[in-house]
Amino acid sequence: MRILVLGGAGYIGSHTVYALAEAGHSVAVIDNLETGHRAAVHPSATFYQGDLRDRNFVDSVLEQETELDAVIHFAANSLVAESMRDPLKYYDNNLCGTKTMLESMVAHGVDKIVFSSTAATYGIPERVPIRESDRTEPVNPYGETKLSMEKMFKWVGKAHGLRFVSLRYFNAAGAHVSGLIGEDHHPETHLIPLILQVPAGKREFISIFGTDYATEDGTCVRDYIHVTDLAQAHIKAVEYLMEGGHSEIFNLGNGVGFSVRQVIDTARKVTGLPISEKEEARRPGDPDVLIASSDKARELLGWKPEHDSLEDIIATAWNWHRRNPDGYRE
């Protein structure tokens, strides 16, 4: 297959490009390198640097890429707190970028797209594990724009015959087993990379945001899913569309929750190093528990997480952080 990956220099995008290349597929990447890293792009991929909001740029890529089977779309801003401070940045980049891309895809007859969505589309869940049919009421502009992007695909699909798969991830973590690519965000806000900065000597302690949640140990519970398993789900989703599957939304998680304290303890075990912690106030907008039901992805896509132990997830992340304490150093 020839696949165009939007945002293929970012964390989950770069792992998906590696998985596609390793499976023998041919890949083109678009990334504006605002948050992505050129060094994260697999060497076999054709790289186009530019912004999805630039119609001329997107058209020029699609004019060159005449053999495309599908597009996988990761190109979006994804920080909850930033989206609360600057919602219009999220409306502009996430929605306007997707709109321009879809205009160009419709004009060039590219009719299949796999989309990187999020559990943030649900907001505060009405039950756990969360199912795809559950209420979607985002509590921040990040989740709201991702939900609007899904709806854009739906209506463009009805009008122009586009088919889409939207993958709502829970907590992506871990790194490629090679240690060549991994998570490198500026600023870093995610729990596992922040924890690992402590044994890596980059941070004094890990903050625990909130110890009075309605969970067993009082800290938030999340469903951590290995980035390589997410990458495989994107390939399965493209294959599903290639085989004629109709538009669908799938959750992707392991179906098991770990508390912040459990994640810190597991990181101590995996690294064999002490990790100091500090209890702090809640971070605004964090639900007590987020756990996915991924039964639908297992049934319809035939997807199954391979790296489903938290030890394995943290061990691959630690391998990346130890080898690359300063990330991609760009």
Assess contact for 169 and 230: CB atoms under 8 A. Answer: yes
Residue from 31, 44, 171, 159 nearest 105 by CA: 159
Nearby residues of 106 by Cβ (< 8 Å), 6 or more positions away: 156, 160, 162
202 is a contact residue toward ligand UDP (CB under 6 A): no
- How far is 312 from 226, CA to CA, in rounded Å? 8
283 is a contact residue toward ligand UDP (CB under 6 A): yes
Span from 14-22, 133-141, 206-214, 296-304 in contact with ligand UDP (CB under 6 A): 206-214
Site for ligand UDP in 112-171 (CB under 6 A): 171
Given the complex with ligand UDP, which of 148 and 207 has the nearer CB atom? 207
* Among residues 47, 91, 209, 328, the one that binds ligand UDP under rule CB under 6 A: 209
In DSSP terms, which residues pair with 49 in a beta bridge? 31
Span from 5-13, 187-195, 304-312, 321-329 in contact with ligand UDP (CB under 6 A): 187-195
260 is a contact residue toward ligand UDP (CB under 6 A): yes
Question: From the candidates 48, 90, 142, 169, which is the catalytic residue?
Answer: 142
Q: Cα(first)–Cα(last) distance of the chain, in Å?
A: 31
Distances in whole angstroms, Cα of residue 186 to Cα of each of 36, 193, 205: 10, 11, 18
* Among residues 49, 66, 178, 189, the one that binds ligand UDP under rule CB under 6 A: 189
Assess contact for 6 and 74: CB atoms under 8 A. Answer: yes
Assess contact for 270 and 191: CB atoms under 8 A. Answer: no
* Among residues 60, 207, 211, 309, the one that binds ligand UDP under rule CB under 6 A: 207
Given the complex with ligand UDP, which of 152 and 191 has the nearer CB atom? 191
Min CB(162)–ligand UDP separation in Å: 28
User: Is residue 91 flagged as an active site residue?
Assistant: no
Q: Based on C-alpha coordinates, what's the Rg of the chain? A: 19
Nearby residues of 198 by Cβ (< 8 Å), 6 or more positions away: 204, 205, 206, 273, 275, 276
Span from 55-63, 87-95, 186-194, 291-299 in contact with ligand UDP (CB under 6 A): 186-194
Lateral strand order in the sheet of 289-290: 258-259, 221-222, 289-290
Hunting for tokens 């854009």 — which residue is that? Answer: 152
Min CB(261)–ligand UDP separation in Å: 9
194 is a contact residue toward ligand UDP (CB under 6 A): yes
**Chain residues in the site for ligand UDP (CB under 6 A):** 171, 189-191, 194, 206-209, 220, 222, 260, 283, 286
Q: Catalytic residues, which ones?
A: 142
